[in-house]
Chains A and B, each alone.
Chain A
Amino acid sequence: MRAPRKIAAALAAAGLLASLPAQARAEEAADPHAHHHQMMMSMKRATRSTADYALPAIDLVRDDGKTVSLPAELDDGKPVVLNFIFTTCTTICPMMTQVFARLQERLGPERDRVHMVSISIDPEQDTPARLAAYARKFHAGPQWRYYTGSTEASVAAQRAFDVYRGDKMDHTPVTFLRAAPGRRWVRIDGFASADELAEALHELVAAR
């Protein structure tokens, strides 16, 4: 009597498995690349956390060629939305940049009260002129600035935000938001949509 019950339990379990999302299937567990696909899935679900980041006293070069201090640039009193990109990146950066482009569209006239910041993680290639051209391609408004600088400065900025992964080819999509100088940063790992960013921004500003 026990054996058929076991079988039934196994069948039920199998049925349950079949109804689970794809990543739980045994076949995939044996797939050496299953984790990649799971990553791809998990990227859709952008995860939010908060953190305090100490901004290093480094100089960056803005897309207009002007040398600026990172802390001074971020502490201009406005809410900040920040990401790390490079202009010859073909996969995740264009997507992140498009999300920023849509965010500024969605913000409309409000956008001028926000500071959008994109810092290059390939600073030797991304000269101010190349960044300015990239900004034009995505119709960046005056509130959205791109930054480059020495390799050391770029790495220091990446380390400060805990996104440095050793090489530009290893980077992951992360967006940072902060309501005002001295407040905590909201960190969104994964691909956040423009709507999600706008919502997060409004929440932050409302709570300020």
Chain B
Amino acid sequence: MPAAAIGRGGAGRPGPSPGARAGWALALLAALLPPAAAAGAPPVSAGAGERLYRLGLLPSGRPLRGEREGGAGVDGPDAACATCHRRSGLGSWEGQTVIPPIIGRYLFRPGARNVEDVNLPHVQGYVPHREPYTDASLARAIREGRDREGRRLGILMPRYRLDAATMASLIAYLKRLTVGPVPGVTSDTLHFATVVTPDADPVARRGMLDVLEQFFADKNGGYRGESPPLRSPRGVMYRVNRKWQLHVWVLSGPPETWERQLLDRLAREPVFAVVSGIGGATWAPVHRFCEHAAVPCLLPNVDLPVVAEQDFYPIYFSKGVLLEAQLVARQLQAGGPALRRVVQVFRKGDVGEGAARALQAQLAATGLEGVARAVGSGPAGPALAAALAGTGAGDAVVLWLRPGDLKALPAPPPGSAVYLSGLMGKLEEAPLPAAWRGIARMTYPFDLPEQRRVRMNFPLGWFSVQHIPVVDERVQTDTYLACVILSETLGHMLDSFVRDYLVERVEAMLSHRLVNGYYPRLGLAPGQRFASKGGYVVHFAQPTGARLLPDTGWVAP
């Protein structure tokens, strides 16, 4: 199908307005209506191409089918182009298998190196010095598995029997995929935002902003003005120097208004991505913003993230308190016949409420009786005593409480097992009364202090050199780690500043990192949105002090 026939035929058929000259109206119709549509076949549309590309859905709504040698076919989402070539279209690689970029910008250009075109970013798998594809040769490649020179494509590339209109829709989509200027990227500056919710802990918030501001200042320390691209005999590598600019987006008012506020900020201050950030009871509106506005939101300080791994743009360190709920559930399932009931205690509106709900759902599947009790208003001591009333032998008590409540706990219920959220209680600094310390088991979704000590020299040394007061070691370490991961990933992307590609590169690179602050290891992949997946259950070794002993190994529930 000739390129001229590819238009937005699916978007509607405008008729000539009464005042329009007939010739003009005819030309418009000719441009907008592909011949196939006029003949009654499905119209060509980049939208249909997008559904095919991303979801593996044909215009008819039926699943796409691709054939491979040896009869191993693929269907539906597995057959979608994005599965291998990724949402950005810039390709990927796995071991020695390179999946080339397939956006129009690479396919339809003469095979120049980027020496001859400095605006062409370098991506793995782009082969310079090749004839450009035409619509016809690309259609042949997709249908018959032969490239523009007639050679067979890689063994992983399926062959797709697409009709002319569907093929034209797909090619139209490839031509518009990942083109145009990227928001938040200029020739000398990369703009990033961080998000602060009004209910974030003020001390942790200050600590996080200290780290971010210093990291950005440090990053810009070597900036000497706009530099020419770095060249090598093989091509233009990248621009060596770009400033990083941080925009701190402080939200206000109720959570229902946050998404709107963020969209307004984004319109006023376009950013390439959101890095770190800090939340309180809910992060859901920020998560929605990231997904709806297609902005990567990398590694915020959030204890109750949104579990929606089919979403693309938000990436978290871990499931936070929801991971702790899974760790507790696992322990309780091994609790033995003496365990008859699980009593959870939480504050309404805090992240523990979500964790308690998640644990309650997991208990339902095991047949264990579960009770979730919110701590009432008024002085903490009596309110906590009321929440714990009637508990005793045969019960497991699960505390989703902050340090202030932990300090005020009454005498522990006799004979019951006790679990405690390490994330909410401040880990080894949890101010548990002496009588609770001896019996409490704490979920610990991080590496143990002694095992991470050497690793922690990196962030702690940096804080010390930069004169950053350590007010919340974990939040500040995670913030530093988020910045380092962003910086490394951008370094590997060279000048291919594409938001989707940023997420894809973080996915692919994260598990190569060996030094990860509080975490023994991090890793992602397509469809994985929580980088650290496990934790320990621990107890205090002594009546005082922060020494912990593990009850379990590292468990990924």
List residues of A whose CB falls within 8 A of some B CB: 22, 27, 30-33, 36-37, 39-40, 43-44, 86, 88-92, 94-95, 98-99, 101-102, 122-125, 127, 150-151, 165-173, 191, 193-195
Contact A172 B96 (CB under 8 A): yes
Contact yes or no, A36 B512, CB < 8 A: no
Which of B70, B128, B149: most chain A Cβ within 10 A? Answer: B70
Q: Is the CB of A169 within 8 A of B508?
A: yes
Task: State A193–B557 Cα separation when bound (angstroms).
Answer: 35
Q: In this assembly, does B523 line the interface, its C-beta being within 8 Å of a C-beta of chain A?
A: yes
- Taking a contact as CB atoms under 8 Å apart, the answer to whether B525 and A40 are in contact is no
Q: Which of A92, A102, A165 contacts B72 (CB 8 A)?
A: A102
| B124 with A33: CB separation less than 8 A | yes
A195 interface neighbour in B70, B234, B509, B557, Cβ under 8 Å: B70
Check: B127 CB closer than 8 A to any chain A CB: yes
Give Cα A171 to B6, complex, Å: 40
- Docked Cα-Cα span, A57 to B70, in Å, equals 37
- 9 A-B residue pairs with Cβ-Cβ distance under 8 Å, sorted by A, are A39-B98, A90-B84, A92-B156, A94-B78, A98-B68, A124-B533, A168-B523, A193-B70, A194-B71
| Minimum C-beta distance from A91 to chain B (A) | 5
Interface residues of B (CB under 8 A from A): 68-72, 74, 78, 83-84, 92-99, 124-129, 149, 151, 154-156, 234, 508-509, 511-512, 521, 523, 525-528, 533-534, 553-554, 556-557
Question: Separation in Å of the B527 CB from the closest CB of chain A?
Answer: 5
Q: Distance (Å) between the CB of A9 and the closest chain B CB?
A: 26
Evaluate contact between A44 and B525: CB separation under 8 angstroms. Answer: no
Residues of B within 8 A of A89 (CB): 94, 525
In the complex, the answer to whether B554 meets A39 with C-beta atoms within 8 Å is no
Shortest C-beta distance, B109 to chain A (Å), equals: 16
Is there contact, CB below 8 Å, between A125 and B95? Answer: no
Q: Which of B70, B93, B127, B234 contacts A102 (CB 8 A)?
A: B70
| Contact, CB under 8 Å: A31 / B128 | yes
- Interface residue from B125, B151, B525, B557 paired with A168 (Cβ < 8 Å): B525
CB neighbours of B127 from chain A (8 A): 31, 33, 37
* Contact A88–B528 (Cβ < 8 Å): yes
In the A-B complex, the 10 residue pairs with the closest CB atoms: A124-B556, A88-B525, A98-B72, A36-B98, A193-B70, A40-B154, A124-B533, A39-B96, A172-B95, A91-B94
Output the nearest chain A residue to B150 by Cβ-Cβ distance: A22
Do A95 and B94 contact each other (CB < 8 Å), given the known contacts A44-B155, A168-B511, A169-B512?
no
- Contacts A36-B124, A39-B97 supplied; 13 other A-B pairs, CB < 8 Å: A32-B234, A88-B526, A88-B527, A91-B94, A91-B97, A92-B94, A92-B95, A95-B68, A101-B72, A102-B70, A122-B523, A169-B95, A169-B525
The answer for the CA separation of A43 and B534 in the assembled complex, in Å, is 36
Given contacts A90-B83, A92-B97, A170-B95, contact A124 B154 (CB under 8 A): no
